[in-house]
């Protein structure tokens, strides 16, 4: 599959149809479990993320990143406003969230997505989407931005986009070493929050994409 610069220019700036993310306290708990909470469920400060009967029950702020799950499912159709690709070649590259107010633990969030940029990285294409997430009162709860990397869909003559700053660690022993481990089944649990890409669950799909085994969602480690 290939893409032309004309196709890309026609897509950038497109406002996609708005959609509503409806969720309950159960979904809020499932998200928290999917990113590895709680570190210690006997600790009240941790239990409040996963126990909806806690008087201090709250949503973990990074949950805003899954409000636009419907957008991910749209992109996984492999047809981005006429730009066609194999969904198994898609990986989540970057994510940003701008929290405007405390996240609700249940309710409805209306999301208005826009394709804000597409960059040519040579080996692939980066698609940047911005989403305005609003509550029932029309107030912006969060703004999110995601960068999706589609392998094999580059070299169309487009802008490479901004380069990330190189953050080299100092050449000395670290001040502190802290290690954490995810569950071997973490991806199977996290996918219950809406990202059903088979790359994260099906060994044959992962092998087709060039991985030894299903990989963990980038957004799972983002919240971990």
Instruction: Render pLDDT for 67-82 as a digit per residue (tens, 0 to 9).
Output: 988 888 888 888 999 9
| H/E element, 208 | helix 203-208
Name the active-site residue from 30, 99, 114, 215. Answer: 215
Question: What pLDDT was estimated at residue 125?
Answer: 95
Name the active-site residue from 34, 36, 154, 218. Answer: 218
Question: What pLDDT was estimated at residue 108?
Answer: 97
Q: Count CB atoms within 10 A of the CB of residue 105.
A: 16
Question: What pLDDT was estimated at residue 99?
Answer: 98
Low-confidence ranges of the chain (pLDDT < 70): none
Active site residue 69: no
Question: What pLDDT was estimated at residue 73?
Answer: 83
Instruction: Render pLDDT for 165-194 as a digit per residue (tens, 0 to 9).
Output: 777 888 999 999 999 888 889 999 999 998
Q: Cα separation of 142 and 147, whole Å?
A: 17
Using the 8-state DSSP alphabet, how is residue 87 labeled? G
Name the active-site residue from 118, 124, 200, 217. Answer: 200
Active site residue 178: no
Question: What pLDDT was estimated at residue 162?
Answer: 85
Instruction: Tokens for 56, please give them.
Output: 């201090």
- Structural domains present in the chain: 5-157+186-198+210-223 (3.10.129.10)
Name the active-site residue from 36, 92, 158, 195. Answer: 195
Give the three-state DSSP class for 91: strand
Quick check: bond before 90 cis, omega within 30? no
Active site residue 159: no
Question: What pLDDT was estimated at residue 13?
Answer: 95
Instruction: Render pLDDT for 53-65 as a digit per residue (tens, 0 to 9).
Output: 999 999 999 999 9
Active site residue 53: no
């Amino acid at each position: 599959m290939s893409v032309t610069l004309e196709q890309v220019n026609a897509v950038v700036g497109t406002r996609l149809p708005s959609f509503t993310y409806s969720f309950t306290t159960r979904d809020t708990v499932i998200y928290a479990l999917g990113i590895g909470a709680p570190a210690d469920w006997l600790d009240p400060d941790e239990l409040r993320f996963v126990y909806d009967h806690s008087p201090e029950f709250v949503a973990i702020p990074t949950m805003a990143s899954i409000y636009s799950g419907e957008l991910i499912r749209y992109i996984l159709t492999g047809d981005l406003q006429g730009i066609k690709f194999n969904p198994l070649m898609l990986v989540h590259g970057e994510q940003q969230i701008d929290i405007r107010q405390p996240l609700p633990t249940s309710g409805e969030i209306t999301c208005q997505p826009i394709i804000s940029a597409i960059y040519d990285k040579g080996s692939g294409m980066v698609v940047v989407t911005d989403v305005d997430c609003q509550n029932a009162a029309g107030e912006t709860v969060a703004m999110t931005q995601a960068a999706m990397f589609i392998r094999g869909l580059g070299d169309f003559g487009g802008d490479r986009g901004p380069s990330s700053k190189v953050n080299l660690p100092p050449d000395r022993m670290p001040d502190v070493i802290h290690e954490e481990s995810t569950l071997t089944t973490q991806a199977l649990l996290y996918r219950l929050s809406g990202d059903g890409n088979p790359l994260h669950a099906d060994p044959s799909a992962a092998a087709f994409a060039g991985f030894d085994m299903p990989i963990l969602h980038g957004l799972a480690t983002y919240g971990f």
